[in-house]
Amino acid sequence: MDLSTLQREFVAAVFAPDARPPVAIIDDAPGRTARFAVYRNNALNNLATALLDVHPVVARLVGPAFFDHVAGQYASAYPSMSGDIHDYGGHFAEYLEAHPAAAGLPWLADVARLEWAWHEAFHAASPPPFDWSALAAVEPARQGDLCFMPHPSLRLVRSPYPILHIWEANQPERDGEETVDLNEGGDRLTVLREADHAVAVERVDAATYAVLEACRLGRPIADAIAAALAVEPGADAAALLRGLIGRGRLAGFEGG
């Protein structure tokens, strides 16, 4: 067996709990099957632990037995594709959304999305300061064509459920006994690592969310403002843009 084939079979066996390890690994020494099982168990447990580190609120909401079960299944279904453990878990919300055991908790996947957004924001890069002088130098006729870039840590999370209230009610310093009324309304949230390195989660209005979503998609600021006015016709577009830049949500621009 050539090395590349052996490596593929080894990885496949690690992430398939019922699979036998490659014969080349186990056939020439006693005890290797047991040692492979230990390796497999440690690998899957390490990934499940990484999920727990990122999703403590989800774990608190469903309890340790449920979380351990689902995290173990996820680890088998989604092997790590990166050498950085911080990259692991990006599909967990979608996995929860489709998992039959979570069918009675329709808000759970969005809570997981919020936790993943917080995790990504915390580990994101820091941009240089916004270049106001470069913006001022752009001819007015060309300003609408500028594409404003969100801060690298900015994440947007939208849900029909009050996930921020759920998330806040289940922080470590809270007793977890607070009742959240799912009918209190959905959330449009920004998640951003501030200048002091703290990650802030905030509700925003529909116009703000529309601008940030359009900028995230690389659309010109004229289109972003049009999207904001479509959801809030009375929005002050100039003030909105100044506020997003001033508060660090937009970190630069291209074009002009």
Residue 150 · residue 216 · CB < 8 Å: yes
Task: Report the pLDDT value the prediction gives residue 252, as an integer from 0 to 100.
Answer: 94
Hey, what amino acid is at 51?
Answer: L
Q: Which of 46, 77, 105 is the last residue of a domain?
A: 105
Task: Report the pLDDT value the prediction gives residue 24, as an integer from 0 to 100.
Answer: 64
Task: Report the pLDDT value the prediction gives residue 74, as an integer from 0 to 100.
Answer: 93
Task: Report the pLDDT value the prediction gives residue 77, as an integer from 0 to 100.
Answer: 87
Task: Report the pLDDT value the prediction gives residue 249, as an integer from 0 to 100.
Answer: 95
111 closest CA partner among 212, 217, 187: 187
Q: How many domains does the chain have?
A: 2
72 closest CA partner among 119, 103, 40: 40
- Asked if residue 65 and residue 38 are part of one domain, the reply reads yes
Task: Report the pLDDT value the prediction gives residue 145, as an integer from 0 to 100.
Answer: 95
- Asked if residue 232 and residue 167 are part of one domain, the reply reads yes
- Asked if residue 167 and residue 242 are part of one domain, the reply reads yes
- Asked if residue 32 and residue 120 are part of one domain, the reply reads no
Chunked into runs of 10 residues, the chain (256 residues) has average pLDDT values of 79 76 66 78 88 96 94 88 90 96 95 98 93 93 95 98 96 86 95 92 97 96 96 93 93 88
Task: Report the pLDDT value the prediction gives residue 14, as an integer from 0 to 100.
Answer: 79
Q: Round to whole Å and give the CA distance between 55 and 116.
A: 7
- Asked if residue 67 and residue 160 are part of one domain, the reply reads no
Residues 6+ apart with CB under 8 A from 201: 114, 118, 164, 167, 189, 190, 191
DSSP sequence for 100-144:
GGGTT-TTHHHHHHHHHHHHHHHHS--PPPP-HHHHHTS-GGGGG
- Asked if residue 142 and residue 83 are part of one domain, the reply reads no
Q: Which of 50, 84, 105 is the last residue of a domain?
A: 105
211 closest CA partner among 237, 174, 189, 186: 237
- Asked if residue 214 and residue 168 are part of one domain, the reply reads yes
Q: Round to whole Å and give the CA distance between 193 and 2.
A: 47
- Asked if residue 129 and residue 218 are part of one domain, the reply reads yes
Q: Which token pair is 165?
A: 């209230």
- Asked if residue 182 and residue 97 are part of one domain, the reply reads no
E strand or H helix that includes residue 254: strand 250-254
| Domain carrying residue 73 | 1-105
190 closest CA partner among 231, 152, 157, 227: 157
- Asked if residue 120 and residue 73 are part of one domain, the reply reads no
pTM for this predicted structure: 0.88
- Asked if residue 1 and residue 98 are part of one domain, the reply reads yes
Task: Report the pLDDT value the prediction gives residue 165, as an integer from 0 to 100.
Answer: 97
